[in-house]
């Protein structure tokens, strides 16, 4: 990739990250970059969004289960 293409890619990622923050998606730059790359490879953006939502739901349910288990094991 030449320097002009690299600069354009960085600027595009920064713009997408800024929009992501405005929309309060909670995506970090690295995750957003991976999702954009997958879209560039032809992955369906709506399917990727569904996967991200599902992973977040799984993570939040496992986090609450972990904290519930940890709190139930604590000795007063």
Give Cα separations from 5 to 9, 12, 16, 34 (angstroms): 6, 10, 16, 17
Mean pLDDT, the chain, integer = 86
Element (H, E) at 23: none
Angle at 62 between CA 19 and CA 51, to 5 degrees: 40
Q: What is the mean pLDDT of residues 17-32?
A: 95
pLDDT in tens, 38-69: 999 999 999 999 999 999 999 888 876 655 45
């Amino acid at each position: 990739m030449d320097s002009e293409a690299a600069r354009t890619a960085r600027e595009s990622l920064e713009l997408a990250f800024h929009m992501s923050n405005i929309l309060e998606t909670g995506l970090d730059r690295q995750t957003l970059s991976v999702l954009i790359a997958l879209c560039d490879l032809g992955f369906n953006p709506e399917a990727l969004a569904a996967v991200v939502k599902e992973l977040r739901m799984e993570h939040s349910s496992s986090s609450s289960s972990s904290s519930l288990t940890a709190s139930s094991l604590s000795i007063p």
